[in-house]
Structures are given as structure tokens and as C-alpha cells.
């Protein structure tokens, strides 16, 4: 295949992964920005979204589009509910202590993973895409559904931006992120905002899982890579900066796609990790992060 065609394929693949990564990492970034805690089980919320999508598809039977639409709603709702329960049962009781949350969410990661292994099984299962069509470019064929994923993710990102900037809950979230004590002094129910943010973060990861699962498959270990990549993106973009997260997601996603096609995927991961190291050395707060007090 010619260089141009390969580049085109690389950019297509990179764009798909960049958008999915942006949605996933956005959840993690919101949680850190507002609550100042790290959710190590974030990748498992992503996996739960995919597994729920499979379960819904299984129950609905022969109508992939219906199953997909239901999963898009039910998945984030269930995962958001789990997130609220986790917040109430665990995070609130350890008082959102940063180190404690890391340890607690690591435990949560294993609990969710093994629960899914027990209930769902060790094998990878297919979820049919809601639309299946193949686009034939002159040099290669491409999945039409992947282009739909790009569109849906873009809509989600826009929707989240709208929610954050134009709604009251979004205002509360931004205020809590900016200065938690003052926000509380102004009567913002900070603890409830935390619960909502944690639910939103989990819900975003779950939607990303639902979107991605027709491309990959639902497997109980699939949360591992999204977690790693989300961390890389959030660190590079700057903890607490949504703009930085989005920018970093695109840089990492597209470079991953291009390096994977022209070199190897392992090299792409090496480059991403080197970028993180570079950022941590040169600009520890990340590209757009707030400087540490």
C-alpha cells in the first residue's frame, strides 16, 4: 500500500481511538479535577459499560440497533449508580483521602473484575454493531461503524461541555473544582456534587465502553488498557484541566494510530510513555494543569 494510503488509514484509526480515549479520559479528569481523587477502577467502569452492552444485546436478541440504544442509556445509568454507591459506601467514609482512595479503588478494581469473571465468564464475546456497513476506499475497506463512533463521541464531548458550562450542576462542579471551601460557603452541596461527578465520570467511561464494544469484544480484562491510556492522557493534559485532557487525547490517539501503522504498536506505547515522562520532568502540572499550591 502506498504511503499516502497508509497515512490515511493511520489517521482514521488514530481518530477513532482519540475520540474514544477523549471520552474515557474526560471522566477520569473530571473526577480528579473536582474531587481531587484518583479512581483506579476507572477502566473497570469502561469494561462494565461494554459487558452491560453485551447483556442488553443478548436479552434483546435480534435487533442490534435497539439493543445498542438501550445500552447507551442503561449502561451509564447502572455504572453511574454503582459509582454513587461506591462514593457513599467508601469514598465518603474515608473522607476522600487521596492515598486512601487510591488503595480503595484498587480493591474496587479487583472486585469488579473478578465479579464479572464469575458472572460473565473468561471468554470474549461479540456485540453486533447497530449499523453494519463497509466503506470501500480505493486502497482498503473500512468499517462504517467506526465513523459512527467518531460522530457519537464528538456529540458526547459537546454534550458534556454544554452540561458543564450551561447548567447549574455544571456550575456547581466548576465552582467546587475552583475552590471547594468557598463553594461550600456559598451553599453548594459539595458532597452531593462529588457524588454526581463520580457518577458522571463512571458514566462517561461506561458510554465509551458501549461505543467501543462492537469494534472490539467484551472481555473482563478489557479495562486495563483504557485505564493506562486515560492516566497518560490526564497526566499529559494536566490534572484538572478538561481542555488539556482533550488535547492530550488527540495527540496520543493520533500519534498512536500513526506510529502503530508505520512502526509497531509497542513503539507507539513506548512513545506515549516517554511523552508522559517528558511532561512530568519539564512541566509537572501537565500542559494545561494548574500549578501545585
Partner 1 sequence: MTGKSNSDNKERRPAGTTPGVSRRTAIKGAGALAGVAAATSLIGLSARAHSGSDAPIRIGFQVHRTGIGAAYGRWYERTSRAAVDYINQTGGIGGHPIEMVIEDDGTDPKRGAEMVEKFATQHKVDFVFGTLFSHVVIGSAPRAGELKMPYFVVSEGYHVASGKLNRYVFQPGITDVRQQVSSMAPWVTSNLGKKIAMIFPDYAFGHDHRDFFSAAAGSLGGEITTLLPIPPTESSFTKYFAKIPASTEVIYHVMVGPAVLTFVKEMGEFFGNNRPELFGFIDSLEAVDIASPGLDYLEGSYFWEAMPRYADGLPTAAAAFYRDQVGVDANGASQSDSKDVATFSHMFGCWETLFVIKAAVEQSGYRSAMDKVALIETLENMKWFNEGIAHPQGHKQFVGQLHQCFGRQFISKVENNRLKVVHTTTIEDGLYEPEADYTKQAL
Looking at the Cβ atoms of 29 and 113, the one nearer to partner 1 is: 113
Nearest 5°: phi and psi at 125?
A: -120, 150
Looking at the Cβ atoms of 134 and 168, the one nearer to partner 1 is: 134
- Cβ proximity of 238 and 244 under 8 Å: yes
Segment (H or E) for 142? strand 141-143
- Cβ proximity of 203 and 243 under 8 Å: no
Looking at the Cβ atoms of 43 and 279, the one nearer to partner 1 is: 43
Lookup result for grid cell 492522557: 233
- Cβ proximity of 130 and 65 under 8 Å: yes
Which residues have CB under 8 Å from 183's CB, separation 6+? Answer: 172, 175, 176, 190
Looking at the Cβ atoms of 200 and 222, the one nearer to partner 1 is: 222
Alpha helices in 167-241 (DSSP H): 168-178, 180-185, 190-212, 224-237
CB of 161 to partner 1, least distance (A): 26
CB of 151 to partner 1, least distance (A): 18
C-alpha cell at 150: 467518531
Q: Would you give the distance in Å from CA 131 to the centre of its chain?
A: 23
Measured distance CA(80)–CA(198) in Å, rounded: 8
- What are 143's strand-pairing partners? 134
Looking at the Cβ atoms of 9 and 246, the one nearer to partner 1 is: 9
Looking at the Cβ atoms of 77 and 94, the one nearer to partner 1 is: 94
CB of 223 to partner 1, least distance (A): 12
Residues lying near partner 1 in the complex (CB under 8 A): 1, 5-6, 9-10, 13, 17, 36, 93, 95-96, 98, 114, 117, 121-124, 126, 128, 134, 136, 140-143, 180-181, 215-217, 219, 221-222, 224-225, 257, 260-261, 264-266
Amino acid at each position: 500500500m502506498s504511503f499516502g494510503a497508509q497515512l490515511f488509514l493511520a489517521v482514521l484509526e488514530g481518530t477513532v481511538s482519540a475520540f474514544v480515549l477523549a471520552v474515557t479520559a474526560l471522566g477520569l479528569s473530571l473526577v480528579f479535577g473536582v474531587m481531587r481523587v484518583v479512581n483506579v477502577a476507572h477502566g473497570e467502569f469502561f469494561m462494565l459499560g461494554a459487558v452491560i452492552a453485551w447483556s442488553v444485546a443478548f436479552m434483546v436478541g435480534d435487533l442490534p440497533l435497539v439493543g445498542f440504544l438501550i445500552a447507551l442509556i442503561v449502561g451509564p445509568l447502572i455504572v453511574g449508580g454503582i459509582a454513587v454507591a461506591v462514593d457513599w459506601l467508601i469514598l465518603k467514609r474515608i473522607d476522600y483521602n487521596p492515598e486512601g482512595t487510591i488503595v480503595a479503588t484498587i480493591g474496587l478494581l479487583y472486585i469488579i473484575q473478578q465479579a464479572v469473571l464469575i458472572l460473565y465468564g473468561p471468554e470474549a464475546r461479540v456485540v453486533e454493531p447497530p449499523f453494519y456497513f463497509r466503506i470501500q476506499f480505493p486502497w482498503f475497506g473500512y468499517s462504517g461503524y467506526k465513523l459512527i463512533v467518531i460522530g457519537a463521541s464528538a456529540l458526547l464531548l459537546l454534550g458534556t461541555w454544554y452540561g458543564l458550562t450551561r447548567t447549574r450542576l455544571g456550575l456547581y462542579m466548576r465552582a467546587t473544582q475552583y475552590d471547594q471551601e468557598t463553594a461550600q460557603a456559598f451553599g453548594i452541596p459539595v458532597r452531593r456534587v462529588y457524588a454526581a461527578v463520580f457518577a458522571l465520570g463512571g458514566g462517561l467511561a461506561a458510554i465509551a465502553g458501549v461505543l467501543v464494544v462492537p469494534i472490539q469484544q467484551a472481555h473482563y480484562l478489557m479495562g486495563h488498557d483504557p485505564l493506562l491510556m486515560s492516566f497518560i492522557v490526564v497526566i499529559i493534559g494536566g490534572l484538572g484541566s478538561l481542555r488539556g485532557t482533550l488535547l492530550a487525547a488527540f495527540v496520543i490517539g493520533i500519534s498512536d494510530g500513526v506510529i502503530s501503522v508505520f512502526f509497531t504498536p509497542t513503539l507507539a506505547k513506548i512513545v506515549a510513555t516517554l511523552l508522559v515522562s517528558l511532561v512530568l520532568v519539564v512541566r509537572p502540572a501537565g500542559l494545561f494543569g494548574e500549578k501545585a499550591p
